[in-house]
Amino acid sequence: MRLPELLSRVPVTTTAQVESFLGSAELKWGKHRRIKVGKVFHNFLCLRCGDQRTFVSGDELDCLGLGDDQVSIDVTLRCTECEASVEAWFLVASDGPIAGQSPHVKVERYTENLRDRAERIDAASGPFADLVKRAQLAYENDLGAGAVIYLRKIFEKVTWEVAEILNIAVKKANGNPRPFAVVLEEVNGIRNIIPQRFSSDGYQLFRELSGIIHGDSTEAEALQKFKPCLQLVLGVVNEVRQDNVVAQAIEELGWNVDVVEEEVSS
């Protein structure tokens, strides 16, 4: 596999053995080198075209040396239709020396600057899209607790907003907020916003998110829990009743689903 093929597959495939792309000469720390290895392709929703488009790089990629086993690669990608441009950045590391023949490399980090010109194909839509994007960006920068803060904010906002629609009080007589668990239970009793698989204890998701934020989990654990928590929060936003994505997310979090199911059936 050539390096551009691996970069084009991110984030689906991040590890592979690739053809030599630096030659035999080491790229020393802090030094730049232009490498002519082929084009990188990524599909985005082009906001100027209003449709899904392929964005492509030039034949040469810009490498920055970070040691004998790591390089930073900056890529500019242009829409093949309107030529709107975006940027992508890859941190590529190898098991051994990254220069030489057929190194085994891994894309350790990937981020992009879409500059309001494009969106990811699977980008969230709707009133909470901006918070989802912020959560995803924090996650991709290894900020586990920071990413989960946005997820809890989404959960809170959707619950408060549905409560207001249903004329459920969100404040006490003295003006202080009512307990979130009480409001959530009343909302869910009228309009099922919690996926049915764990609807008997919808507050468990909030406890999970809050525990991560308040330090009950390490950053590594927070990053590991982010994706299943994201799926569950999006399940609430989309009023998911029951599907395989939600079931898998619950399993990945290690929640006691059997107990929940017994409570539902009792």
Mean pLDDT for the chain? 82
What is the rounded average pLDDT of the residues 138-156?
A: 88
Using CA atoms of 228, 234, 42, 26 in order, give the dihedral in degrees to the nearest 10.
Answer: -30
Where do we find the tokens 């009792």? 266
For residue 190, count other CB atoms closer than 10 A to its CB.
Answer: 13
* Dihedral pair phi/psi, residue 174, rounded to 5°: -85, 0
Residue 167: CB atoms within 10 Å:
7
Among 18-27, 37-46, 181-190, the range of highest mean pLDDT: 37-46
Return the DSSP state at 15.
E
Residues 6+ away with beta carbon under 8 Å from 202 = 184, 185, 188, 193, 194
Tell me the domain boundaries of the chain: 3-120, 129-265
Residues 6+ apart with CB under 8 A from 234: 124, 132, 240
pLDDT of residue 75: 92
Mean pLDDT of 64-82: 92
Q: Answer whether residue 216 shows pLDDT above 60.
A: yes
Contact, 168 vs 184, CB < 8 A? no
Share of the chain above pLDDT 70, in %: 82
N-to-C CA span, the chain: 56
Q: 127 or 101, which is more confident?
A: 101
Task: Give the model's confidence band at 80: pLDDT under 50 very low, under 70 low, under 90 confident, else very high.
Answer: very high
104 DSSP 8-state letter: E
Mean pLDDT value across residues 31-35: 90
pLDDT at 200 over 60: yes
Q: Which two tokens stand for residue 71?
A: 């390089």
- Euclidean distance between CA atoms 261 and 250, whole angstroms: 12
3-class SS of residue 201: helix
Instruction: Identify the bridge partners of residue 89 per DSSP, sorted by sequence position.
Output: 74, 111
CA within 13 Å, CB half, 15: 3
Contact 98/71 with Cβ under 8 angstroms? yes
